[in-house]
Structure 1
Amino acid sequence: MNEPIRDRLVTLRRSLHRHPEPAWREFATTARLVDEIRAIGVDELAVGPDAYDPADRMAVPDADLEPWVERARERGVDDALLERMAGGNTGAVAVLERGEGPAIGLRVDIDGLFIEESDADDHDPAAEGFRSEIGGTMHACGHDAHMTWGLAVLEAIKQSDFSGRLVVFFQPAEETGGGGCPMAKSEFADDLDYLLAIHVGLDHPTGEVVAGIEKPLAMCHVDATIEGTSAHAGKAPNEGDNAMHAMGTAIENAYGIPRHADGMTRVNIGYAEAGSASNVIAERAHMEAEARGETTELMEYMKDRLERTVKSAARMHGCRADVEVVSESPRADSDPELQSLVSTVANGVDGIDRVLPAADFGASEDATFLMERVQRDGGLATYMIVGTDHPTSHHTPTFDVDEDSLEHGVDVLVETIRELEHQHPVARNEGET
């Protein structure tokens, strides 16, 4: 790790790609980040519970952590660091204190997905030897690129004459919406003047930059368990309370929730299971769902209607339902002032040939917790996109990034941070709050 990160963007990204870890299981990933950050040399490094309050986490798995701890130990992660991350308290925050100047936050996410990566000959990670080494798990959304950007930017700013404070949030559990809230509530989000979040691709090609997204959907993940009464399906079906039937009613009725006149709303039941045998009335059913809205208020409307729908369906069939909101995130839009600044910066970066001041997001992201926190405290935030030619969509077994975009992302972020330093404070437009 003596070689500068800027000179090994591709090898670093590929190394991270080979070892994806899902939400709250990023033990080896966090350890690798810690090693790199220590080699850079920062003024403060907080890991896991030192970076946030574990009680603020969402979507924390009840089990399945120990195999990931053991895998990290087998990869050489020392026991002291694993102990600090006990209970799945992964992720890190790195801080550079460089005198008077703006306080700037940069948020990058670090988790992978439960997807089996393709081993096809035309899939570059397989063909070039950096396919995921962990079965059923993959960096299928570009978080390996995001971590590379975070480390490279930290190194570049450390080596510059930057004046101010830079806080880099290496956030776990984005894919489950679980890690943004604790990061936003932490002391490291205090008094930030600016917050930069970033994503690779999202159907924008290499050489294109979106200076700030608009209209991310507020989102919640909901788990529902329906408890009924089992019975012999042939001899005494009338003695049972069919949890599977109740779940079927709930699913059908959920898709019938009236959409709202004030804006876009979404609901989906993505996973369902019930029953034990063909001749047994199912006594238990479980489903996992999500609700989204164009605004936080519209998401709350869908969430409340979904919960009511599930509980009503359960009662209709003599069952009872437990509905748990596993995680959620608000809507937060990019600030026009930062969009304008990023647009100007990106137009001057080599390799960038098209800059979009704004684009609708149409999906959800828990970086909005940090954006909302900074904006509420009087600062500015933007969520930018650095384009990459990806052969297939995000969250697919053949997703990959064009590695030319690695340098683009570093340059856009570093130059944006330096421009914020020079222009600080970036004034809000008159009349805006």
Structure 2
Amino acid sequence: MSNAERVDFRRDLHQHPEPAWCEYYTTARIVDALETRGIDRMLVGPEILQSGRRGVPSTSTQQEWKEQALEAGAREDIVSRLTDGQTGAMAVIENGPGPTVALRVDIDGLPITEDTTDEHRPSTAGFRSTHEGYMHACGHDGHATIGIGVLDQLLQSEFNGTVKIIFQPGEEQIVGAEPIVHAGIIDDVDYLYATHLGLDHPTGTIVAGISEFLAVSQFETSFYGSAAHAGAHPESGENAVQALAAAVQNLYAIPRHSEGATRVNVGTVSGGTATNIIPESATISGEIRGETTQLMESTETQAHQIMESAARMHDCEMEIDTMGRAPSAESDSELIETVATVAGETAQVESVVRRDSLGGSEDATHMMRHVQENGGKRRTSLSGQITLV
């Protein structure tokens, strides 16, 4: 694939952003590209995922995205393999004895409406998202293209060992990496790499390693009361919105911790049906983060206690659903030095930053921790966009 073809591939993916477990078009395009290359093995969808996935959308939602993918030209024989939203793929190259190295790239989009102004290049150049309300705002279209580009380079090189390139679904909702770990496809990995474009670093800059990943737990909590007429019989109802309001107010009152940073955010609230009806149900969704997994879990325990107490205070029932979850992790120092050295010898790289903090969360930490626990090494890097525009 030439550089121009990689640009076209990335722009095609940019036009078709898809959320977690609905990446039908994206997976089909990746698999289509992999099939034209002389790789030793390819695993698709259910072959790279363990059962028990979080955040799986309804059957009707999956069907809508599947139909859109087929209408856009995705191959039906590939889409039919992605049962129950089990998307993603893995390419394997085997060159005899040697270490097993994995590169993880993520492929999903975000529920964000893409800019339509002339200042936004995808809009003026004709590759803006075709799915209103969704876009590749985090560069995963570029990540998937990098995966194909790395594969092309490896197929032309000589090395000893095995390389696995994992095209991971569901990173944005922190739900994709964990079932890949549980599926066992990285149990034999000695060195794990993950990469991310941009993140405040200019084109031509490589950040060799990342520290201070925030552990994260995303939740959705529903409060259940009983409806009543707010004017005629207010005493007969249990107000779920009051329980919600008490929970939100006190979630933000959780004190910070002396051992490190913690974060709490409620991102969405909904509830009620009419101005004169006491709401019988209300829902919030949010997330809890911590500088370490222990700090996140401590804050999470307090958050659950607050939401349970808010429900009891207003005679309501409640249910907490953990949507996505990822631990903290650190890049390996030895691999950081390797990446920094190689990057410094690469013509297109203008500057190298050995280590930086992310200030956010990444579910690649599931893979990083798993490889480390098995005795291997892991690293996540950031880069400016060097060849893809």
* TM-score with structure 2 setting the length: 0.97
For 2:336, the equivalent position in structure 1 comes to: 339
The answer to whether the aligner puts 1:271 opposite 2:268 as a matched pair is: yes
Q: CA deviation at 1:119?
A: 1.2
What amino acid is aligned across from residue 201 of structure 2 in structure 1? H
**What CA distance in whole angstroms lies between the structure 2 residues aligned with 1:138 and 1:54?**
28
Q: Tell me which amino acid in the other structure corresponds to 1:214.
A: S
Report what 2:169 is aligned to: 172
Does the 8 Å contact 2:211/2:330 carry over to 1? Answer: yes
Distance change >3 Å, CA 6–CA 160, structure 1 → 2: farther
Distance (whole Å) between structure 2 residues aligned to residue 216 and residue 167 of structure 1 = 24
- Partner in structure 1 of residue 186 of structure 2: 189
Work out the number of aligned pairs and report it. 388
For 1:139, the aligned partner's letter is H
**Counterpart in the other structure of 1:411:** none
Name the CA distance, whole Å, in 2 between partners of 1:340 and 1:161.
22
Show the 5 A alignment for 1:22-421: 22-55=19-52, 57-63=53-59, 64-388=61-385, 404-406=386-388
What is the rounded CA distance, in whole Å, between the counterparts of 2:320 and 2:267 in structure 1? 15
1:110/1:95 CA distance change after superposition, 3 Å: same
Deviation at 1:6, TM superposition (A): 4.2
**Structure 2: how far apart are the matches of 1:178 and 1:121?**
35
How far the C-alpha of 1:10 sits from its partner, in A, is 1.4
Alpha-carbon distance in structure 2 between the residues aligned to 1:74 and 1:298: 46
With over 3 angstroms needed to count, the CA separation of the structure-2 counterparts of 1:5 and 1:151, relative to structure 1, is farther
Instruction: Provide the C-alpha distance between the structure 2 equivalents of 1:314 and 1:155, rounded to a whole number of angstroms.
Output: 56
TM-score using structure 1 length: 0.87
Residue identity (%): 44
In structure 2, the residue matched to 1:426 is none
Distance 1:310 1:263, change over 3 A: same
Q: Secondary structure at the match of 1:96?
A: strand
- Mapped contact 2:89–2:166 kept (Cα < 8 A): yes
**Further displaced range: 245-254 or 303-312:** 303-312
CA contact (8 A) 2:3 2:387 kept: no
3-state SS of the aligned residue for 2:143?
Answer: helix
Instruction: Give secondary structure in 2 for the equivalent of 1:87.
Output: helix
Q: Distance in 2 between matches of 1:319 and 1:133?
A: 42
Whether contact under 8 Å (1:207, 1:405) holds in the other structure is: no
How far, CA to CA, are the matches of 2:383 and 2:75 in structure 1? 35
CA contact (8 A) 1:5 1:152 kept: no
Give the letter aligned to residue 381 of structure 2.
M
**How much does 1:405 deviate?**
4.3
Structure 2 match to 1:397: none
User: Secondary structure of the residue that 2:83 maps to in structure 1?
Assistant: coil
Q: What SS does structure 1 have at the residue aligned with 2:102?
A: strand
**Given that residues 169 and 183 in structure 1 are in contact (C-alpha distance below 8 angstroms), is that contact kept between their aligned partners in structure 2?**
no
Distance 1:75 1:387 in 2: 30
Q: Structure 1: how far apart are the matches of 2:31 and 2:92?
A: 12
Counterpart CA distance in 2 for 1:108 and 1:157 is: 16
Write the deviation string for residues 411-431 of structure 1: whole angstroms up to 9, x where unpaired.
xxxxxxxxxxxxxxxxxxxxx
